Structure 1
Amino acid sequence: MDNDLQQPLITHLTELRDRLLKAVLAILLLAVALFPFANDLYLLVSEPLLKHLPAASSMIATEVASPFLTPFKLTLTTAILLAMPVLLFQIWAFVAPGLYQHEKRLLFPLMFTSTALFFLGILFAYFAVFPLMFGFLTQAAPAGVAVMTDISHYLDFVLKLFFAFGLAFQVPVLTILLIKSGISSRQSLRQKRPYVIVGAFVIGMLLTPPDVISQTLLAVPVWLLFELGIMASRFLPQKPNQTPVSS
């Protein structure tokens, strides 16, 4: 009996190991391919700040290994992001056999949408938020203070904001899951709209620098994406004991 129980467990662990190895291999291959362009990647990421630095200023490296380690860290992070479709496919292939058919129909679109929204959040931060935010922050420096940002600190700051905006753009997926699981309803979420708006600005205050521009540029999309999630939930199939709620 014990052998009968151990055999499926060993089979699942072996499959999990194989899929993890494939995911790690995809990341390593992308990292190796991107490594020759590490400095170019960093230049691309730092461009929103460099455009707003005074003519006599530049970015600096305060640690001996920073000129190498910082672009390398960015390259590895970029490789993980680019390998996300492979990672998600491996996760899907591992869990799909244990799912019901209706769960499969819901999970795959949600995984695809969640990934697309995460990348959209990163692009929004880079093209819409960074130019305004760095323009404000560099101009806010007191007289006599030279703005010379450390490359390692800048990368940590940028990655934090990328991650914050990527997560914030998951609001439609979270909204749909709340409604689909029955934890909440469209009507209930609409009634909570004022609290969601306040919460969006609180999140913007906690995750972005202390300036109104960047806080608003995070809070407003969170609110709009919440509304998008409510509208998209109207297209979810209704359970037999559910009656559609008009919007």
Structure 2
Amino acid sequence: MAVAIVVKSSQAIMAMQAGGALLAELHSTLQAVCIAGVTAAELDAIAHAFIVDHGGTPSFLGYQGFPNTICVSKNDEIVHGIPYSDKIMYPGDICSIDIGICYDGYHVDAARTWCIGDVDPNVADLVQHTEAAFFEAMSAIRVGRKVDGIGCAIFKFAREHQLTTAKHLCSHGVGECLHEDPLIPHQRTMRSNRRLVEGMTIAIEPMLNLGCPDTVTDTDKWTIRTKDRAWSAHYENTVLVTANGPQILTL
């Protein structure tokens, strides 16, 4: 974990813009095949081939021992789901796909949650509101404002829609390292006086639950799910802080 906020050079920003465009294209590719019957392992194979074929490196593969290219989390799984071959998508499921790409020495990170066919209306609202929480957080990104305002905006939006933010899971800086300072908890209060500065790049990732905020980790030591087994959704983009506001690099 980096120990200080890193302001990116113009060269770094160009690399992250290029990597972000690739990541956006990859998410679109996976959305088209994320249908009933597909397995998480098949999605992982498609993602790996795409990243390598386009001159990138999978950020997650081997990171702290993670065994695959992407994280595939289903229903009550919040994040870091291993893409097992027996993790099959069925009608009514939701599938969260989290991907990191390292391109020209810099990482970008983004996640999407897709509905598999028709889903319960409360689940559809969860997915929609999780994405909306990300865009609500964009209003907190202005040079000079407190970094923790991002997490507060996500927490407030979730509460207004009778949802919870997953405990101990944060937005974070990203760049030369996959996880850099600052860590940004999705919580009610501002605990840090750190300020946003031009040139910061942050992976902002609401993870919202239908039930309680508490989490548990599976025996695989990676998959994090809700303690009460209520369903969860995840939406993430890498964002550049500019003098004119936020620039989303992975859309």
TM-score range, shorter chain: under 0.3
Between 1 and 2, higher relative CO (CA 8 Å, sep ≥ 6) is seen in 2
TM-score with structure 2 setting the length: 0.26
TM-score (norm 1): 0.26
Name the structure with the higher strand share: 2
Higher helix fraction: Structure 1 or Structure 2? 1
